[in-house]
Structure 1
Amino acid sequence: MNFKLIVVAAGFLLTTSLSAFAQERGPETNLPLPRFVSMKASEGNARRGPSLTHRIDWVFTVKDQPLEITAEHGHWRRVRDREGAGGWIHYSLLSGVRTALVEKDMLDMRATPDGTAMVVAHLERGVVAQIDECRPEWCKLKAGGYRGWVPKSHIWGVKEGEVLE
């Protein structure tokens, strides 16, 4: 649903989309769209449309990989990965567990959310890590037995400014 907000101010007519004010909700779950989830299964077919009769366009093969849901239809969710590949996948293959994909090679994982804090590990580009929590600028991740903080700008799987506890 795309509503328009019309405001008359000082004799001028201003029109803007309400999407800036109210986030779209999925018709099946009433959860925000878009939103991030992860792959529950180690393999999942992404189809051209929301049913088993539609052709498979892509196969996700990484368990816990973060995916972004952009639409819902019945038991199907339209998802995309970091590169934009995707399609319709059955909801049973997805998990609400939040994960992130490291986008910077040798990303410093720090003991506290501070650029000068002690480095506890270096994460390679492409590592999938579980998100423990996120603040506006930093996220606490768990990967390879290590826990620490990374700048949100160097991971994919969480929205800018999103806070997770």
Structure 2
Amino acid sequence: MSPIIRLATAAIAIAYFAAPATAQEAELPYWASIDTPEANMRVGAGEQFPIQWVYKREGLPVKVIRLMQGWRYVEEPDGTTGWISASLLSRQRTAIVVGDGVAAMREAPGRDAPLRWNVEPGVVGELGDCDSGWCELNVERHVGWIEETRLWGAGEP
């Protein structure tokens, strides 16, 4: 075999086998969200492990803590941890309203900005930019700013 063919074969083999390794090198922890109408959280990284929870809340934010061969060890808003298949997660940033009582969703960042809506704890939306302790949240096309302390999934994981 010619040296050029050997070199090309080696390059293809390296690219083929290195691709899964680079997918495993995400900086941890990071935010993700459930990307399917139903997702199983398991007690171990594999389908042979028992199901711990069944999530029926697409868009729910989770914190990815560990990676293992196509599985993600995640923490969800109430502190529950377990393994979810990476194929059921998205890097789309979402947040869930937490805390007691309604959270004010304002027209702009700041307590003096006009009130748009009051949002109940448990509401999930797509997270936009955060600025000076306030984050933009899109809840079914209702867009406004909520204090970052009232959102789980905002800020650094």
Which has the larger share of strand? 1
TM more than 0.5: yes
1:131 corresponds to: 127
2:142 corresponds to: 146
1:96 aligned onto 2:95: no
Q: RMSD over aligned Cα, in angstroms?
A: 1.8
The letter for the 2-side match of 1:153 is T
1:3 corresponds to: none
Greater relative contact order (Cα 8 A, min sep 6): structure 1 or 2? 2
Q: Which runs of 5+ in 2 are unaligned?
A: 1-20
- Say which of 91, 107, 114 aligns to 1:111: 107
1:70 aligned onto 2:65: yes
Q: Could you tell me how far 1:29 is from its partner in structure 2?
A: 3.3
Larger Rg belongs to = 2
Q: Which runs of 5+ in 1 are unaligned?
A: 1-25
Aligned residues: 136
For residues 2-13 of structure 1, the aligned pairs below 5 Å read none
Identity across matched positions, percent = 32
Q: Residue 73 of structure 2: SS of its match in structure 1?
A: strand
Q: Could you tell me how far 1:86 is from its partner in structure 2?
A: 3.2
CA distance in 1 between partners of 2:26 and 2:111 (Å): 34
Q: Could you tell me how far 1:28 is from its partner in structure 2?
A: 4.3
TM-score, normalization: structure 1?
A: 0.76
TM-score, normalization: structure 2?
A: 0.80
- Say which of 49, 52, 55 aligns to 1:54: 49
Runs of 4+ in 1 over 6 A off after TM superposition: none
